[in-house]
Amino acid sequence: MIRTPLRPLARILEARARGENPDAIERENKRLRHETMRDQARVRAEGRLLVLGVVFFAAFAVVGVRMGLLAGSDPSEPRAIAPGASIVAQRADIVDRNGNILATNLATHSLYAQPPLMIDPKAVARELARIFPDLDEARMVKDFTGSRKFVWIKKKISPEQMQQVHDIGDPGLSFGPREMRLYPNGALAAHILGGAGFGREGVQSAEVIGVAGVEKYFDDYLRDPANGGQPLRLSLDLTVQAAVERVLAGGMKLMDAKGAAAVLMDVHTGEILSMVSLPDFDPNERPRQQVTGDPSDSPLFNRAVQGLYELGSTFKTFTLSQALDEGIVNPNTMIDTKGPLVWGRYRIRDLHNYGSSLSVTTVLVKSSNVGTARIAQRIGGVRQKEFLGKLGLLEPTPVELVEAAGAKPLFPAKWSEISTMTISYGHGLSASPLHLAAGYATLANGGQRVRPTLLAGGGTLGDRVVSEETSRQIRSMLREVVVHGTATFGDVPGYRVGGKTGTADKPKPTGGYYEKKVIATFASMFPAEAPQYVLIVTLDEPQDTTGPQPRRTAGWTAVPVGAEIIRRAAPLLGLRPEIEQAQGFGVTLTAN
């Protein structure tokens, strides 16, 4: 570029000759030069603005087009990201403590019909009625020929049935994939598992939701995809559960009882190894809740958790342990047992007359109502209620079943002195067998509160309820009951069973008590000197008819069943029988 000089000599001389100011020429040239520079700068700035504008336009256009594409296209999973453990089933398995499957899923199909696509609705209905005898042909004909566009026929069908339906060959019949819940062990642990059903249903899939038991209690956990299919491990032992169920069912039949329940619990952790309620049901085909009749007679009713019964003399153990713990008595203190004990319009009697006085141990061994009531009088109602509360007998059990929260023990609103006396031997307070198991486990493990649980691993022990010494005394007293007392049929060689019987008359719904209907309970722990397990057996309306007179006391009904359960279950639990030391010289107590 040729730069124009500010003071061109030719023009300066010319201007000087004309007498003009040559500086004007310089200023003029400077102005021109500045104008040129300004024009150039403007062009450059305009160019930059344009580029900036184009860049912004392009950027916004890209964002806009991308948004439009994302909004307009079908969603797809990212292909390049390697997925971790993919979800197999929508509901996690449930396994027992050893990993045996209690509940799992099975892929099946559902069957539905689209009547507008059907070629021969009547033939289809006839064929379907042949394949599925439970379907009503006339009803299906009505559905298929009416105005309906969509009809569910079956929610779950087997592969064989699916093939048969395929063979009908009608385009109006279609299948949708379905996941179903399978309980491979049938009725085993039915009350604990509960059952599952379908929630919201679509053609391609359906929700599987728990309807009772742990399936419902852990519904959110089981359906949480974040768990990655991790199974829910329960504290149950499949083998022990099967053995207990079998023995209890046999015992129930033998004793002519209409129901039975058993709870086997680890005293140190509160883990429930086996919990049975009979009659039971198959959770694969969970029956509907009965609308009529007594709900507690339904097979769906979990007697071990929901059944609130007056558990009779098994409560004497609690009364005596409180009295021992508070130092009111010692095992050898003599208690006045002269009966009947009259209190207002109530009379407390014993089964037999046990004479004028018995030691505390003998009160338990012979199960004297009068003696226990007298001890309870010394304890007093307020402290008794507090003690039973500490054992967890006045509130629902914290076990992981939806039904448990509803089973709140029944006790009089006004804890009067007569209530104190009757509750001391187990009348006037209704609790479930599971409550009793937790209470006995607390006394058995050295006195620390046990909270029953169904999860493997168990919970930690709670606050101390009674001292180690009291626990030891009460265990040796319970052992005495089995060796010399009301539960002699409960002795299993090698396992040193300790326990207490309880026979309570059943209350009539109209008030008062039945004469010949009882609840027989056997609460036991083994081995007695260092218990590991607590077993509660409850029979509803049992009677032993082998003798000349029907016998209904727990000693003749629940105790032999409990002993057989221990004999079968203890080896399965890995407990080695111990050879007991032969009794040396000693005084043998005889019944009078």
Partner 1 sequence: MRSFVYVLTALAVMALAFWAYRENYRTQAALDNVERLNRAIGSLREQLAMQNAEWAYLNRPERLRELAALNYDRLALGPLAPEQFGQIDQVSYPEMVLPDIVLPDELFKSILAEADQPAQSASPTVPVEEAASASAVPEALEEALEAQDEEAEQ
Set 274, 277, 313, 432: catalytic member: 313
**CA pair distance 446, 440, nearest whole angstrom:** 11
**CA pair distance 354, 67, nearest whole angstrom:** 92
Q: At closest approach, how far in Å is the CB of 246 from partner 1?
A: 8
Closest to 589 (Cα-Cα) out of 339, 396, 361: 361
Based on CB atoms, which residue is closest to partner 1, 116 or 159? 159
Based on CB atoms, which residue is closest to partner 1, 230 or 289? 230
Q: At closest approach, how far in Å is the CB of 495 from partner 1?
A: 7
**CA pair distance 381, 287, nearest whole angstrom:** 44
Based on CB atoms, which residue is closest to partner 1, 1 or 80? 80
Based on CB atoms, which residue is closest to partner 1, 517 or 567? 567
| Catalytic site includes residue 313 | yes
Q: At closest approach, how far in Å is the CB of 575 from partner 1?
A: 8
Residue with tokens 């093939």, as numbered in its chain: 163
Based on CB atoms, which residue is closest to partner 1, 94 or 456? 94
Based on CB atoms, which residue is closest to partner 1, 97 or 385? 97
Q: What are phi and psi of 278, to 5 degrees?
A: -120, 145
Q: At closest approach, how far in Å is the CB of 103 from partner 1?
A: 9
Based on CB atoms, which residue is closest to partner 1, 86 or 292? 86
Q: At closest approach, how far in Å is the CB of 87 from partner 1?
A: 9
Long-range contacts of 345-353 (CB under 8 A, 24+ apart): 346/418, 346/422, 348/373, 348/421, 348/422, 351/553
- Directed axis angle between helix 381-390 and helix 316-325, to 10°? 100
CA terminus-to-terminus distance, the chain:
140
Cβ neighbours around 110 below 10 Å, total: 24
Based on CB atoms, which residue is closest to partner 1, 32 or 107? 107
Answer yes or no: are the C-beta atoms of 196 and 209 closer than 8 Å: yes
Q: At closest approach, how far in Å is the CB of 493 from partner 1?
A: 7
Query: Is the omega angle on the peptide bond into residue 527 within 30 degrees of 0, that is, cis?
Result: yes
In the chain, how long is the greatest CA-to-CA distance?
164
In the three-class reduction of DSSP (H, G, I as helix; E, B as strand; rest coil), residue 204 is classed as coil
**CA pair distance 354, 592, nearest whole angstrom:** 8
**CA pair distance 428, 216, nearest whole angstrom:** 32
Strand order in the sheet with 513-526: 272-278, 259-266, 533-540, 513-526, 498-507
The CA-atom distances, in angstroms, between 579 and each of 39, 287, 396, 583 are 116, 48, 40, 12
- Rg of the chain on CA atoms, in Å: 42
Q: At closest approach, how far in Å is the CB of 325 from partner 1?
A: 34
Based on CB atoms, which residue is closest to partner 1, 129 or 575? 575
Report the 3 state secondary structure along 387-405: HHHHCCCCCCCCCCCCCHH
Based on CB atoms, which residue is closest to partner 1, 91 or 435? 91
Question: Footprint of partner 1 on this chain (CB under 8 A)?
Answer: 79-80, 82-83, 86, 88-89, 100-101, 104-107, 182, 184-186, 188, 238-239, 242-243, 246, 492-495, 567-568, 570-572, 576-577
Answer yes or no: are the C-beta atoms of 369 and 320 closer than 8 Å: no
The one-letter code for the residue type at 69 is: L
Answer yes or no: are the C-beta atoms of 348 and 421 closer than 8 Å: yes
Q: At closest approach, how far in Å is the CB of 402 from partner 1?
A: 24
Answer yes or no: are the C-beta atoms of 144 and 151 closer than 8 Å: yes
**CA pair distance 535, 453, nearest whole angstrom:** 15
The CA-atom distances, in angstroms, between 218 and each of 88, 205, 221, 232 are 19, 21, 5, 9
Q: At closest approach, how far in Å is the CB of 58 from partner 1?
A: 23
Residue with tokens 């407390």, as numbered in its chain: 348
Q: At closest approach, how far in Å is the CB of 187 from partner 1?
A: 8
**CA pair distance 279, 302, nearest whole angstrom:** 9
Which residues are tagged catalytic?
313
